[in-house]
A and B are shown apart, each in its own frame.
Chain A
Amino acid sequence: MNTTRTDDCQGIRKSGVLSKEELENCKGMPSEERLKRGPIAVIECSEEIPCNPCEANCPRDAIDIGGVITAPPHLLEQKCVGCGLCISRCPGLAITVVDLTGERSDKVSLPYEFCPLPEVGEIVHAMNRTGKIVCDAEVLTVKNEERNDRTAIVTLLVPNGYGMEVRFFARSGRRRN
């Protein structure tokens, strides 16, 4: 079934996918300048829902929600170093850490709660926010530490330009040649 629908660009409420405008207006998105400088969290959380563990767990106080628990998180991009601790803390699994500084490829670290976990070096189908396969990716690291409480953090190597697009992956059964 074709999963891309005409209303995909109509925003999160209509389609479940953040539109370009929503992403741009999202307070958890780092600026382009900041993205160029090194790894950083990308918090794709645009709605007012009662939730704040990202703020509570950030060791550098780089996420601000404020007094009202339903306020969407505000990423303080100068403080964030892209440590990735928030990835597994987010109940909505809405946080990734991206590193766009690589010469040939971007890095995307994302939460993965499926088994079996991919292996390092495995080639996977990288998917965008609508589930469309956009490129191949190589699994760089797989971390399933106890502090992440069963949410594994998988870091993918994707071609330059895909770091802000790839948000999920599917196993392909292939390995690096």
Chain B
Amino acid sequence: MRHGRTRSVDSDILVVGAGPAGLAAAIEASEHGATVSIVDENARPGGQLLKQTHRFFGSERHQAGTRGIDIGSRLVATARDRNVDLILDTPVIGIFNGLVVAVNDNRHFLSTRPRRIILATGAAENAISFPGWSLPGVITAGAAQTFVNVHRIRVGENIVVVGSGNVGLIVAYQLMQAGSNVVAIVEAMGQVGGWGVHAAKIRRMGIPILTRHTITEAAGDTHVEQITVHEVDDRLNRLPGSEKALEADTVCLAVGMSPRSHLAEMADCAFTDVPELGGTIPIHNAIMQTSIRSIYCAGDVSGVEEASTAIEEGRLAGLGAAFSLDLVESDLYERRAAICMKALDDLRSGPFGQQRKTGKDAVLREYDEYYKNR
């Protein structure tokens, strides 16, 4: 509760969040001569890239085939090269009428009124509840990834993963790499959620993917000792008598993410609900500008996708913010924006990207509506 100013931040642009979107935004904006600071609550920059030990998809532009951890270190190195001011261990606690307030590691308030704000605050994992879900041993997939790949702690010996989206499949694989045994992946839908290549990788290791199953209980005294799963019908009703017991000490929940949009909400950004993108997100235009003209958003906070799209959105936001400060020539701005938009379209094409593309289009329409009605 101490207060007082320990350091001043007087950059043109303040980016909140040092994940892929925030770093890309800062790099892009600084390339055009803007002074940029990034504030992040964590001790290390990189966001979720810090725990992505797998190779990324996409094209050469997205460093496809490179591991997420390495993409993260490259982004951080580039940002440092460009003199981006990285303010770590400093959670932003609020935006009050354009005044951004953070608390840095010495528990001192740090407040600044930047000319542009880029919100790249990411997403938070969803949970599902069932009897025993609060027992130690029930953790989110992200927690498993963080502890296994960043802190190098094995989170359990025999693990059940709930959810077969890409996150569930990738985390199951990484748990196996860390020497744990994945007992099964449980999926309530009738088919695997994530990409076939990830699923195939899991299956050939002998891990079953129990589609049309749901977890119904985690039992144990002070830690998970046994899991019960049930088969479900099309409407997710349990089939009586279908329960199976699985011997496991850990459950990883990989059941989707929701945008962390509190700061956008505090800043009075207008919102829309897009289930395809994880829920309520600030409306924004194609260059990621929100309904508050000085605030941009990028990455999962503007709709949950993945790191490659977050990087492209970050570039757009950084470019847009720099352009609005008259730091970019129009034709350069348009050229670069077009490249990013084309890349985003590519990443959102195909049957898996289509839904997200539809969601993003809905956000753009909402944005147009919003300005028409004002």
Interface residues of A (CB under 8 A from B): 1, 3, 5, 7, 12-18, 44-53, 56-57, 68-70, 89-94, 113-114, 127-132, 149-151, 167-168, 170
Please measure, in the bound complex, the distance between the C-alpha atom of A11 and the C-alpha atom of B60, giving whole angstroms. 30
How many A-B pairs with Cβ below 8 Å?
A: 149
* Contact code string B179-205 (vs A, CB < 8 Å = 1, else 0): 000011000001110011111111111
Interface residues of B (CB under 8 A from A): 54-60, 64-67, 164, 176-177, 183-184, 190-192, 195-209, 211, 246, 308, 346-353
Contact A168–B204 (Cβ < 8 Å) = yes
Please measure, in the bound complex, the distance between the C-alpha atom of A7 and the C-alpha atom of B203, giving whole angstroms. 13
| Contact status of A16 and B346, CB under 8 A, knowing A51-B64, A91-B54 | no
Of A13, A15, A93, the residue contacting B203 (CB under 8 A) is A15
Residues of B within 8 A of A89 (CB): 65
- Which residue of A16, A128, A131, A150 has the most chain B CB atoms within 10 A of its CB atom? A16
Residues of A within 8 A of B59 (CB): 50-53, 56, 69
| Contact status of A131 and B57, CB under 8 A, knowing A46-B196, A92-B201 | no
Please measure, in the bound complex, the distance between the C-alpha atom of A9 and the C-alpha atom of B347, giving whole angstroms. 30
Please measure, in the bound complex, the distance between the C-alpha atom of A53 and the C-alpha atom of B199, giving whole angstroms. 19
Residues of A within 8 A of B58 (CB): 50-52, 69
Closest 10 CB pairs of A and B: A92-B197, A131-B206, A16-B199, A70-B350, A48-B350, A53-B65, A91-B55, A12-B196, A168-B204, A51-B57
Contact B349–A149 (Cβ < 8 Å) = no
Please measure, in the bound complex, the distance between the C-alpha atom of A44 and the C-alpha atom of B164, giving whole angstroms. 20
Of B184, B204, B205, B352, the residue contacting A47 (CB under 8 A) is B352
Residues of A within 8 A of B60 (CB): 52-53, 56
Please name 8 pairs of A and B residues whose Cβ atoms are closer than 8 Å in the assembled complex, sorted by A: A15-B199, A18-B196, A50-B346, A51-B64, A92-B198, A127-B205, A127-B206, A151-B55
Of A7, A151, A167, the residue contacting B204 (CB under 8 A) is A167
Residues of A within 8 A of B206 (CB): 3, 127, 130-132, 170
Residues of A within 8 A of B200 (CB): 12, 16-18, 44, 92, 94, 129
